[in-house]
Amino acid sequence: MITTDILIIGAGPTGLFTVFEAGLLKLKCHLIDALPQPGGQCSEIYPKKPIYDIPAYPEILAGDLTHKLLEQCKQFEPGFTLGERAETIEKQDDGSFIVTTNKGTKHQAPVVAIAGGLGSFEPRKPILENITNFEDKGVEYIIKDPEFYRDKKVVIAGGGDSALDWSIFLADVAASVTLVHRRSEFRGHLDSVEKVQELKNVGKINLITPAEITAINGVENVESVEVTKKDEAPFILETDHFIPLFGLSPKLGPIGDWGLEIEKNAIKVDNALDYQTNIPGIFAIGDVNTYPGKLKLILCGFHEATLMCQAAYKIINPGKRYVLKYTTVSGVDGFDGTRKEAPKAVVKAID
């Protein structure tokens, strides 16, 4: 059991800034995120794109914002459960919550802050009627362990970076790699595209474009797929695995079943006070919440996180006094023993 003061669901910018604000109040945080790395959308969807409305940054790349937020909060030693999706929440008799992930990892905290953005990222599944029957029986949407494909026949579909990168990687692992894409142009990094071209030329990647997978065949497991090239008759291609890599799309997912009041695919909160949900002790901050006048902006998430932490302090330390402190005056004392503070003014007499 992982225990902490504030359990944050979602390691995007709002979740990461929560760690800093909580740390100033001597509250410890642990974050759960379905993605394998922190940063949320900023690192998954658009790390190389600029953002222009982060206060004091005329321009910052989304990936750099993530790095700076991690740097800013690191002395408060946040814990991470990455690559796992928060699945269930159970309220305990002492008022705390136990959140369990899809992999069974349990976390306990008196305060839960949902900073889940648009939800957890789920793979986009191609529209093939029997595809769900073959999930984990030869159809995988995410490659977890490349060794799994050693000496197997693999068909990858998609035209983005992950389709290109995995085709390149698996070319040395699998018995054969076929890459199928609906058109001949790919939208990956130029060096990935060139590498695939190279591997195609030496016969290590079988490239079929413009084409689509139009059927999956097999009794229990995937045995073959039907490939249809544009304006040509379909043909059958024997394979052990079919890996569609069409990107990820966010879904509110299991959080939608936690008994929280939902409106417009978002969690309703009390914006007059502290962004608490209809369940006391559970807060929702950032893009995942809604209230009259809500704006889905990173900068609004930072504000919401800050107010939420004050409310969390009161829940965790009932009746204990606290006044707002300025970091310039008080400095920042990390849980790792570090201290940041403003340099003292020099006092020296003038003759």
Partner 1 sequence: MEQDINITITDRDGVKHQVLAPTDMAMNLMEVVRSYELAPEGTIGVCGGMAMCASCQCYVLSETTLPDMQDDEEAMLSEAFNVKDNSRLGCQIQMTLEMEGLEVELAPES
CB of 44 to partner 1, least distance (A): 10
Instruction: Decide if residue 250 touches partner 1 (CB under 8 A).
Output: yes
Instruction: Tell me which of 247, 253, 254, 334 binds partner 1, using CB under 8 A.
Output: 247
Please identify, using beta-carbon distances, which residue of 230 and 325 lies nearer to partner 1.
Answer: 230
Contacts of 232 (CB under 8 A, 6+ apart): none
Instruction: Single out the segment in contact with partner 1 by CB under 8 A; choices: 1-9, 42-50, 79-87, 222-230.
Output: 42-50
Please identify, using beta-carbon distances, which residue of 285 and 309 lies nearer to partner 1.
Answer: 285
Instruction: Single out the segment in contact with partner 1 by CB under 8 A; choices: 24-32, 122-130, 304-312, 340-348.
Output: 122-130
**Any bridge partners for residue 32, and if so which?**
9, 81
CB of 41 to partner 1, least distance (A): 8
Q: Concatenated DSSP letters for 204-248?
A: SSEEE-SEEEEEEE-SSS--EEEEEETTS--EEEE-SEEEE---E
CB of 260 to partner 1, least distance (A): 15
State how far the Cα of 209 lies from the Cα of 230, in Å rounded to an integer.
8
Please identify, using beta-carbon distances, which residue of 118 and 284 lies nearer to partner 1.
Answer: 118
Please identify, using beta-carbon distances, which residue of 45 and 332 lies nearer to partner 1.
Answer: 45
Instruction: Single out the segment in contact with partner 1 by CB under 8 A; choices: 9-17, 81-89, 153-161, 343-351.
Output: 153-161
User: Is residue 286 a contact partner of residue 115, using CB atoms and an 8 Å limit?
Assistant: yes
Instruction: Decide if residue 189 touches partner 1 (CB under 8 A).
Output: no
State how far the Cα of 327 lies from the Cα of 160, in Å rounded to an integer.
44
Instruction: Decide if residue 181 touches partner 1 (CB under 8 A).
Output: yes
**Any bridge partners for residue 226, and if so which?**
215, 236
Instruction: Single out the segment in contact with partner 1 by CB under 8 A; choices: 32-40, 131-139, 259-267, 329-337.
Output: 259-267
User: Is residue 216 a contact partner of residue 130, using CB atoms and an 8 Å limit?
Assistant: yes
Q: With residue 111 as reference, give the H or E element that holds it.
A: strand 111-114
3-state secondary structure of 55: coil
User: Judged by CB under 8 A, how many residues of this single chain contact partner 1?
Assistant: 27
**Any bridge partners for residue 88, and if so which?**
100
CB of 186 to partner 1, least distance (A): 8
**Any bridge partners for residue 99, and if so which?**
89, 107
Residue in this structure with the two tokens 């909160």, named with its chain if needed: 269
3-state secondary structure of 46: coil
Binding residues for partner 1, per CB under 8 A?
Answer: 41, 45-46, 49, 118-119, 124, 126-127, 158-160, 181-183, 185-187, 246-247, 249-250, 252, 264-266, 290
